[in-house]
Amino acid sequence: MASSRESGIWVPLGYTVLLPCSDRLSPMSTLVSRRHPLRPVALLRLFLGILLPLLVVGFIAEEVLERERIAFEAPFLLALHAHATPALDQLALLLTTLGGATVIAPISALILLLLWLRQRPLALFWGVSVAGAAALNLVMKLLFHRPRPELWPRLVQEHDFGFPSGHSMYSAAFVTALILLSWRTPLRPLVLVLGVLFSGAVGFSRLYLGVHYPTDVLAGWLSGAAWVLGVYSVLRPLRRPKGKGDRP
């Protein structure tokens, strides 16, 4: 039963992500042709950026649907909590606030407005990426109904379901979209490093506070990044033509 439900979720999602790329991926003979020498690289990016994350999330989702306990999760959280200090408590609360919708949503709205005034195709990409990730997270939470950990009295109270982590998914989508927007600018290395650190720290804060299992956070990161990369693959024709050295 769980496997069929999982397939009903992830197969259509993967099909939706891959269909716009189909004209770039067939026929197979063109992948190694002189005319398209970089197609194998594009396939590798597609696998690492979208397919592999979806496969991992699908595997975790199956365990969640079957209500299976993942053995390492509770001991990991308890070991983490054993090192709690008042200073780390405050840091975790700050990080979880910065990674929440109350902070990311207004910043995202401001970026959307600025992009809309300057380059509307990029505004469309940004809006669908960030708002779509939030909507997808809500749907997944309602679908999987995974309870949150109840291992110690928590500093923050959360009343919705836990899978996948909304904070991790929002921050991953936000950061991935920012990285793509900054790809052709000198800010790319800075955005890449700070963005990954920020999203990682937000996810860690959710574990430290005991409001998510590790697989909730991992699924949030992977789902958020894969969603944005999928949106980019759909809306990429709206972008201006690339130069020889341009990426992605």
In percent, how much of the chain has pLDDT > 90?
A: 56
Q: Look over the chain and give the mean of its residue pLDDT values, rounded to a whole number.
A: 81
pLDDT bracket for residue 79 (50, 70, 90)? very high
| C-alpha of 208 from chain center | 20
Per-residue confidence (pLDDT) for residue 139, from 0 to 100: 95
Over residues 192-205, mean pLDDT: 97
pLDDT bracket for residue 28 (50, 70, 90)? very low
Who contacts 225 (Cβ-Cβ below 8 Å, separation ≥6)?
49, 53, 172, 173, 176
Per-residue confidence (pLDDT) for residue 137, from 0 to 100: 96
pLDDT bracket for residue 106 (50, 70, 90)? very high
- Helices of type H across the chain: 2-18, 22-25, 39-46, 52-65, 73-81, 86-98, 101-118, 120-144, 166-181, 188-208, 214-235
Per-residue confidence (pLDDT) for residue 64, from 0 to 100: 81
Per-residue confidence (pLDDT) for residue 239, from 0 to 100: 52
Per-residue confidence (pLDDT) for residue 55, from 0 to 100: 86
What does the chain come to in residues? 248
Who contacts 36 (Cβ-Cβ below 8 Å, separation ≥6)?
30
- The token pair at 86 is 């008042």
Per-residue confidence (pLDDT) for residue 91, from 0 to 100: 97
- The token pair at 221 is 């990161």
Sign of torsion, CA 118 119 124 126?
negative
d(CA 226, CA 51): 8
Per-residue confidence (pLDDT) for residue 70, from 0 to 100: 82
Who contacts 210 (Cβ-Cβ below 8 Å, separation ≥6)?
77, 81, 149, 151, 152, 154
Per-residue confidence (pLDDT) for residue 244, from 0 to 100: 44
Per-residue confidence (pLDDT) for residue 21, from 0 to 100: 43
